[in-house]
Amino acid sequence: MSVDPSSRRPIGRGGLAVSALGLGCGPFGNLLAEVPDGALRETVAAARGAGVRYVDTAPFYGHGLSEHRLGECLRGVPRDSYVLSTKIGRLLKPDAAARTTGPFASTSPFDIVYDYSRDGALRSLEDSLQRLGLARIDIAYIHDVNPKWAGDALEERYRQAMEGAYRALERLRGEGVIGAIGVGVNDVEILQRFARDGDFDVFMLAGRYTLLDTTALPALLPHCVARGIAVTLAAPLASGILATGAVPGAKFWYADAPPEILDRVRRIEAVCLRHRTPLRAVSLQFPLAHPALVSVVVGMRSAQEVAENAEALRVAVPADLWRELRAEGLIDPAAPLPSA
């Protein structure tokens, strides 16, 4: 089986459809390493040439830098030819003394202020449109309401998000200003809460339905299918190791992969080698077999990476490979297989 990276899958009730391969714009904010402007222009051009019609960014990425650079790359591209998502929850305040923190090699001179209120959500969207130089955002995600970023403030931020940001986005969706609304986070339990408490079109799930982590499989994904909530999967390559393999310095969740992950990836690689199939192809195609999944959103920083990921989806993966991975306990027995 294989996947056409340009094939479209629907989201929500407003007629939106995203490509099976999405362009994640964390690298446009210098995620882990600085990227030249020229390389990003080539990345966007290559993505369009490969049929990628879904692009995702966020104010957090490079503290505004990702949205600014993406907007420059999209200048002159027909607006109706792609679906664009960004996120709310972090406002950016100018600060000449701001220091680069977190996973970014360098950022714009802005500090982050968390704000999930109604006014904060509206301000965030307006600021994003200004940075992007665009008049419309298609999908708005409530971003990073989870223990990692909220800590002891989690319950307060969740309450504020549902009473403030969610109601603002729901109104904008009803007015046709935004095509779809959702939540973007890597926490399965939080997404299950949002699914129960609101009427969302789409969730951006980071890293929790891959060959190395199927946390979302037992409860969240079936619930999304039942409720008609589409799922876009960010970090489908697990921050790199499912593309590079178990090489020295391979990254898992943006850090050096631990021994147990390296061992598991080596076992998966051995099966791929026996079937003469690239690890990247197996890694990108596996999640898309689930009926909840509509797109794998890969952070890409060069035209070469676009070509590699698009080609990986087009590879015909043998059905026997999937069966062998399952027989060796390397795929959850409840996970749908692409060959089916």
Paired tokens of 230: 């589409």
CB 59 within 8 A of CB 124: yes
254: annotated active-site residue: no
Closest CA to 142 of 190, 101, 107, 110: 190
Q: How many CA atoms lie within 13 A of 276 on its CB side?
A: 0
- Determine whether 87 is an active site residue: yes
169 three-class SS: helix
Look up 332 and say whether it is catalytic: no
Question: Could you please report the per-residue DSSP string of 2-24?
Answer: ---TT-EEEETTTTEEEESEEEE
Catalytic residue among 4, 54, 82, 87: 87
Catalytic residue selected from 54, 61, 158, 166:
61
> Cα separations (Å) of 67 from 134, 137, 147, 176, 302?
10, 12, 25, 22, 17
CA dihedral 165, 167, 169, 171 (to 10 degrees): -150
Report the alpha-carbon angle 215-289-253, nearest 5. 40
Q: Which of 54, 56, 158, 201 is catalytic?
A: 56
Which residues form the catalytic set? 56, 61, 87
